[in-house]
Amino acid sequence: MKSSKLIWSCALIFLLSLVLAACGGGGNGSGSPGSVSITFWAAPNPPQEAFWSAMAQEYMASHHNVQITVTAMPSTPSSESAIQSAIAGGTAPTASENIFSGFASTLVSDQAIVPLDQMPGWNNVIQARNMTQVISNWKFSDGHTYVLPLYTNAMLVGWRMDILKQLGYNTPPQTYSQVIAMGEKLKQKFPNKFVWADSDLVTDLWYNRWFDFFTLYDAASNGHSFASSNQLTADNTAAVGVLSFISNLQQKNLLLTQNVTDPFETGLSVMEIIGPWTFPTWAQKYPNLKYNDTYALTPPPIPDGYPTGQQVKTFADAKGVVIYKQASQAQQLAAWQFIDWVLSDSQHDLQWLQKTDLPPARDDLGTNSLFTSFFNQNPELAPYAKEIPEAVPPMKNQNYVNLQTTLGDDAVIPVAKGQKTAQQAWNAWVATAQSLVNSGS
């Protein structure tokens, strides 16, 4: 086994030397011998496509024998479906962004993407981008890393401090029992308000679980793995604790699951799980909402008895870059060299942040002076940057859609409706989930 890995590594190094020679400043143009053409699919989001197009143009200006074509990936019916269709039809790009860890599990199972940790200079990229802690969450059960995370939207909890201050709170509650106690005070003073108002809690769209259950679960479990490629690995105590928290809110009339427009923004509720994409809308519709004035941002609430001083983790809505196996080895290596060039330069991350408002997946985003000016101008995004090292990407199981759909149907929804206890709901889901994990279908 070790010898085969050595042979493959040597082959990669040899091929890279050919590509490097072709990409040197003395090349004769994209049509000359030794040239290589690659395709890169950007996310179907104009700012992201614009960033990658600019990077490709700059790269090709000094690497004359590399031709990079950047296009937005198809998004009908979804980008994941478009990628799978391209793979099935033999028309996959050389590389793409917009891949999250759950979908990557499907691509790994289909042997459709390259293990990036075997590419030359992998460790140098990780060190140059300062992402040692971030990348540790992206390793698959076979020990390889197939996705190089590009950005991380760490989920945080917003609190209406203008309302909480009327209850005597100068800082948000931190533990489940503190949230419940605050809720009881809220009801005494404002009987028509709620702690949490979220109609998505009672819908079975699989991705909604990221922004309710998993945000709380990753905090409660200290980021414990939920499901691997072939087994259920969830922290049962943490999971039942999350469901119990939701159940307690429901039983005390502190939870509203009716469909109400902007309950947090209008002050109907005082807590909401918020992603960093929220604030441009607030700036237009709710200019009265001011960070560190009318609202605060914190990591998710945690169980009572949580270890003192331990950093609180949260869910990461995060996506990254992959290279597809359909490409030739020369194309794979050329794509890797381009990705290496983009992500090893911190200035490129600053350009990405300025163009897209998506936080680069860096351990030091919240502390690196290069980004200070940006966060001074956008202070509400600073807490998200600091939380990136503690943010956990989605489960790495190819059956993520069914697992998360049944998590809603069997557990989250009946608990939020008061139809099951937390333990009953979790037991019901586990009975279903184990077969789903094992079947991978």
Q: How far apart are CA 149 and CA 133, in angstroms?
A: 12
pLDDT of residue 24: 38
Task: For residue 212, give every residue at least 6 positions away whose Cβ sits within 8 Å of its Cβ, in sequence order, or none.
Answer: 198, 200, 201, 273, 412
pLDDT of residue 439: 61
**Partners of 322 in the β-ladder:** 96
The SS3 assignment for 118 reads helix
CA nearest neighbour of 245 among 416, 403, 429: 416
* pTM of the predicted model as reported, rounded to 2 decimal places: 0.90
Q: How far apart are CA 280 and CA 262, in angstroms?
A: 15
Pairing of strands 194-197, 269-274: parallel
How far from each other are the two terminal CA atoms of the chain, in whole angstroms? 30
Q: How far is CA 169 from CA 173, 183, 266, 297, in A?
A: 8, 12, 19, 14
Q: How far apart are CA 139 and CA 311, in angstroms?
A: 21
Tokens of 440: 């991978």
Q: How far apart are CA 361 and CA 385, in angstroms?
A: 9
Residue ranges of the alpha helices (H) in 23-143?
A: 46-62, 79-88, 101-109, 122-128, 132-135
Radius of gyration of the chain (CA): 23
Sign, CA dihedral 280-385-125-321, equals: negative
The one-character DSSP state at 211 is: G
Tokens of 238: 């943490």
Q: How far is CA 289 from CA 164, 170, 183, 283, 292, in A?
A: 14, 17, 21, 8, 9
DSSP letters spanning 217-234: HHHHTTS---B-SSSB--
Going residue by residue through the chain (441 aa), what tens digit of pLDDT does each one get? Answer: 433 333 344 444 444 444 444 443 333 333 344 799 999 999 999 999 999 999 999 999 999 999 999 999 999 899 999 999 999 999 999 999 999 999 999 999 999 999 999 999 999 999 999 999 999 999 999 999 999 999 999 999 999 999 999 999 999 999 999 999 999 999 999 999 999 999 999 999 999 999 999 999 999 999 999 998 788 999 999 999 999 999 999 999 999 999 999 999 999 999 999 999 999 999 999 999 999 999 999 999 999 999 988 999 999 999 999 999 999 999 999 999 999 999 999 999 999 999 999 999 999 999 999 999 999 999 999 999 999 999 999 999 999 999 999 999 999 999 999 999 999 999 999 999 988 986 643
Residue ranges of the alpha helices (H) in 166-257?
A: 176-189, 213-220, 236-251
Note whether 66 and 22 are within 8 A (CB).
yes
Say if residue 91 is exposed, middle or buried (CB neighbours under 10 Å; 0-12, 13-18, 19+).
Answer: exposed
Other C-beta atoms closer than 10 Å to the C-beta of 117 total: 17
Give the domains, in start order, of the chain with CATH numbers.
2-153+317-392 (3.40.190.10), 154-314+398-439 (3.40.190.10)
Note whether 243 and 415 are within 8 A (CB).
yes
Note whether 67 and 103 are within 8 A (CB).
no
Phi and psi of 363, rounded to 5°? -65, -30
Tokens of 54: 């600019």
Other C-beta atoms closer than 10 Å to the C-beta of 361 total: 28
The SS3 assignment for 360 reads strand
Q: How far apart are CA 138 and CA 224, in angstroms?
A: 13
Number of alpha carbons in the 13 Å side-chain half-sphere of residue 256: 22
